[in-house]
Structures are given as C-alpha cells and as structure tokens.
C-alpha cells in the first residue's frame, strides 16, 4: 500500500478546520433564527428542568467553536514542517525558493499559528456575546485565516514558494484593508470582558474585549503589506514565466528578499510583544 506524504495530513486538517468553521457558523445562524422566532410566539413558561436543558445547548456549541481554534496550531505545525521539507528538497537547485520556504516555515511555526488561534478565538467569543463590531472582526479574521491556509498549502503541496508567499501576504493586506484595526478584539480574563460571560461558558467560553489599533499604525501596517505584496507578486510572475534575464533574476531575488525580511521581522516582533505581555501578567 502506497504511503501518502505526511503533509497530506496538513491538507486534510485545513479542510476540516474550514468545514467545521462553516458548520459552526450555520449552527449559530440557525440558533439565532430559532431564538428570534420564539419571541414572535406566545409560549408557556419553562420549568426549571427545561430551562437547564435549554441553557446547556449553547456551551456545547461554544466548545465546538473553541475546538476549531485549538486545532489551528497543530495544523500550522504540520504546514511549517511541510515548508521546511520542501525547502530542503529545493536547497541544491533553487536557493531563492529555499529561502522563501524557510522564512514561511519559521513564521508559521513561531507566529502565524498562535496568532490565528487567538484571533479566531476572540472573534468567536465576541460573536457569541453579541458585541458591536464582532461580525466585522469575524469576517476579517476569516479572510486572513483562509488566505494564509491557502498560501501554506500551495507552498507545501504545490511547492510554489513565491505563489504561496503572495497568498499569505495578500491575506495580511486584506485583513488591514477591511478595517481590522478599528474592530479588533482580544481574549482576556472573564472579569475584564465587555460581554456577559456565564459560569458555564454560555457567554462565549471566556472573556473578550475591544483592542482597536490606532489608525496611523493600521495604515502603516497596510502600506508595508501592500509593498511586500507587490514585490512578491512581481517576483512570482517572473518565476512563473521563467524569464532568465538579468533584470528578471534581480526582480525575483529582490521580491524574495523583501518577503523574507518582512515576515521574519514581524515574527520576531510579535514574539517579543507576546513574551513581554506574559511577563506583565505574571507580575
């Protein structure tokens, strides 16, 4: 029996995450519609047993939502390993693609997995607690998550390093262009939460609060990602058409170098910020 490459497991995990996320959204929409229709009908008061049974339906949904967020780091680790494997296989033939894949692997393992998990968790908590702006935040997080996963799968399965890099950078650019800075949420302790958090987890499975980014900072991040996107896109197109001229080689190497510098700098910066916040919470 033929043994499938291990990175196929990462592809399966990606499909599971996206499918589960869509299914959970449909469940929430269905629950909201049922709740709305219940207000339009006259019903008999619920007994205490019925009330407990009804209150226990949301926690199970929320546990499924958090399960999706907890799967993400594992999926990203698989994808990071796949990028490293691809980089090793191309080391002797294509040093530019090797550098791009290694940078993607480091960013995926060290930063993107944790970032995706926390952002998805905050989006689902905010939506479960029906906070203002939660729907916009959830949509921007989804766009970023799907774009990153598509880019990583393209890098691992297709071996198209710069094409995958374009998708990953485009996901970040779209994230900021859609106004993520204004509607940003972050997970927090329950006593700091802006929404109602029930003891049984019915308020979204934990605390969440608004954490908007200043407009100037968001514009700067968008500009950086757009510049990276354009340079990486040009480099990928040059590689796609395989024009081995001096100028095309310089464009390809320049775009790859800018991408590597950008993602590694972002990874180091984000890890530093997270560690500093952890130390502050421990004091």
**Domain boundaries defined on the chain:** 11-30+58-282
The answer to whether residues 208 and 186 touch, using CB atoms and an 8 Å cutoff, is: yes
pLDDT for 243: 64
- Token pair 């998805």 in the structure block, residue: 120
DSSP string, 176-232: HHTTTTTS-EEEE-GGG-SS---TTSTTTSSEEEE-PPPHHHHHHHHHHHHHHHHHH
pLDDT digits 0-9 by tens, 243-274: 677 888 888 999 999 999 999 999 999 999 98
pLDDT digits 0-9 by tens, 46-90: 444 443 344 344 333 344 444 466 788 889 999 999 999 999 999
pLDDT for 73: 85
Confidence of residue 139 (pLDDT cuts 50, 70, 90): very high
The answer to whether residues 122 and 142 touch, using CB atoms and an 8 Å cutoff, is: no
pLDDT for 279: 84
pLDDT above 90 coverage of the chain, percent: 50
Most confident of 140-149, 181-190, 248-257: 140-149
Per-residue pLDDT averaged across 163-168, rounded? 95
Nearest residue to 229 via CA among 265, 179, 263, 178: 263
Nearest residue to 107 via CA among 139, 53, 151: 151
pLDDT for 205: 64
Distance between CA atoms of residues 31 and 29, nearest Å: 5
pLDDT for 240: 73
**Count of Cβ atoms closer than 10 Å to residue 54 Cβ:** 10
pLDDT at 180 over 50: yes
Name the residue with higher pLDDT: 30 or 272. Answer: 272
Per-residue pLDDT averaged across 136-156, rounded? 95
Question: Could you give the count of Cα atoms lying within 13 Å of 232 in the half-sphere of its Cβ?
Answer: 30
In the chain, the DSSP E strands lie at 185-188, 207-210
Query: pTM for this one?
Result: 0.74
For all residues of the chain together, what is the average pLDDT? 78
């Amino acid at each position: 029996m033929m043994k499938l490459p291990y990175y196929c497991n990462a592809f399966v995990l990606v499909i599971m995450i996206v499918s589960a996320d869509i299914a959970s959204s449909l469940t929430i929409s269905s629950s909201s519609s049922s709740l709305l229709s219940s207000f339009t009908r006259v019903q008999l008061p619920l007994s205490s047993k019925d009330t407990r049974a009804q209150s226990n339906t949301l926690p199970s949904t929320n546990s499924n939502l958090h399960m999706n967020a907890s799967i993400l780091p594992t999926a990203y680790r698989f994808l990071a390993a796949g990028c490293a494997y691809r980089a090793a296989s191309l080391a002797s033939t294509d040093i530019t693609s090797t550098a791009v894949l290694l940078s993607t692997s480091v960013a995926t393992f060290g930063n993107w997995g944790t970032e995706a998990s926390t952002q998805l968790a905050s989006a689902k908590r905010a939506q479960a607690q029906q906070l203002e702006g939660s729907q916009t935040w959830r949509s921007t997080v989804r766009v970023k998550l799907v774009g990153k996963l598509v880019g990583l799968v393209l890098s691992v399965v297709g071996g198209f390093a710069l094409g995958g890099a374009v998708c990953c950078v485009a996901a970040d650019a779209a994230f900021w262009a859609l106004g993520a800075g204004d509607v940003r949420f972050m997970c927090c302790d329950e006593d700091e939460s802006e929404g109602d958090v029930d003891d049984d987890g019915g308020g979204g499975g934990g605390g969440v609060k608004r954490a908007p980014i200043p407009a100037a900072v968001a514009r700067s991040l968008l500009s950086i990602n757009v510049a990276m996107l354009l340079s990486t896109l040009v480099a990928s197109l040059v590689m796609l058409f395989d024009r081995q001229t001096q100028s095309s080689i310089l464009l390809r190497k320049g775009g790859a170098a800018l991408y590597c510098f950008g993602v590694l700098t972002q990874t180091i910066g984000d890890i530093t910020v997270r560690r500093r916040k952890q130390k502050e919470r421990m004091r």
